Amino acid sequence: MHEHLQFESEQTKMAAEKNEIKLIGAWNSPFVMRPRIALNLKGVAYEMLQEKVGQKSDLLLNSNPVYKKIPVLIHNGKPICESMNIVEYIDETWSSNRASILPSDSYNRAIARFWTAYVDDKIPNTNRKLRTLSKQSEETEVEAEKLTAALQSLEEAFQKCSKGKSFFGGDDIGYLDIAFGSHLAWIKAVEKIVEIKFLDKKKIPSLVAWSERFCAHEAVKEVMPEADNLVEFIKARLSASYAK
């Protein structure tokens, strides 16, 4: 009997080791949020390995020697890099856990990837610039106009992609929802920093309503950082850089 229990224990341990999932990232990174949301959607348990600000762990450098960036998903000792590449890996690896994150139709899949590329081209760099600028400056106005234009384009994209449903992906969160939704907390933080309202119900009503549904989703709300915490993070980073 004792030997039987020991055998079962060893089997359980081996099964857990065969499906070891770790994610190297940081709480404030929109790109790390993407695989976290995907894992939550699929109901997959994982261990979060937080990187320290301004440092790169040996694990990160060994796991992503090319770009040396987060996030990195480590599945059974094998690293997978780049946020949306990881999302696709999660979607395929745990395909039976839930409906597909990527659209099943090839045309809709191509459209989702197109708009995801648009998001990554327009949103992150503009956000990074705005959060380090003063409230009133010519550069702030230029960058604010860029972000406003991008959001207007995404408003139109939402109306076409959603087909009247709650999310870009239809009835539930999909590929493009994850790609764009991961930046919402930073957009809200930038609003506080430069005192400009970007998520304006009068200008982009569909997108604002979508953002509220996205942030309230069970797979999202536990990993979405508070805008105030991001503002404090930026203030601390700027203070530290000025002190050098």
The pLDDT mean for the chain works out to 91
CA end-to-end distance (rounded Å), the chain: 66
Please report the pLDDT score of residue 135 as a whole number.
79
Rounded to an integer, what distance in angstroms lies between the CA atom of residue 38 and that of residue 96?
Answer: 14
Please report the pLDDT score of residue 241 as a whole number.
65
Q: Out of 16-30, 60-74, 189-203, 218-232, pick the least confident.
A: 16-30
pLDDT band of 8, cuts 50, 70, 90: very low
* C-alpha 79 chain-centroid distance: 18
CA 198 vs CA 123, 144, 163, 172: distances in Å:
12, 8, 24, 24
Edge to edge, what strands does the sheet with 72-75 contain?
47-50, 21-25, 72-75, 78-81
**Average pLDDT for 106-121:** 98
Please report the pLDDT score of residue 29 as a whole number.
97
User: Which residue ranges form the domains of the chain, and what is each CATH number?
Assistant: 2-93 (3.40.30.10), 106-243 (1.20.1050.10)
Does pLDDT of 200 surpass 60?
yes
- Only one residue has tokens 């992609």, namely 161
Residues 6+ apart with CB under 8 A from 15: none
**Average pLDDT for 36-64:** 96
Burial call 176-205: b when 16+ CB within 10 Å, e when fewer: bbbbbbbbbbbbbbbbebbebebeeeeebe
Give which of 154, 81, 146, 80 is closest to 117, Cα–Cα.
Answer: 154
Please report the pLDDT score of residue 18 as a whole number.
61
Burial call 73-85: b when 16+ CB within 10 Å, e when fewer: bbbeeebbbbbbe
Does pLDDT of 16 surpass 80?
no
Does pLDDT of 243 surpass 80?
no
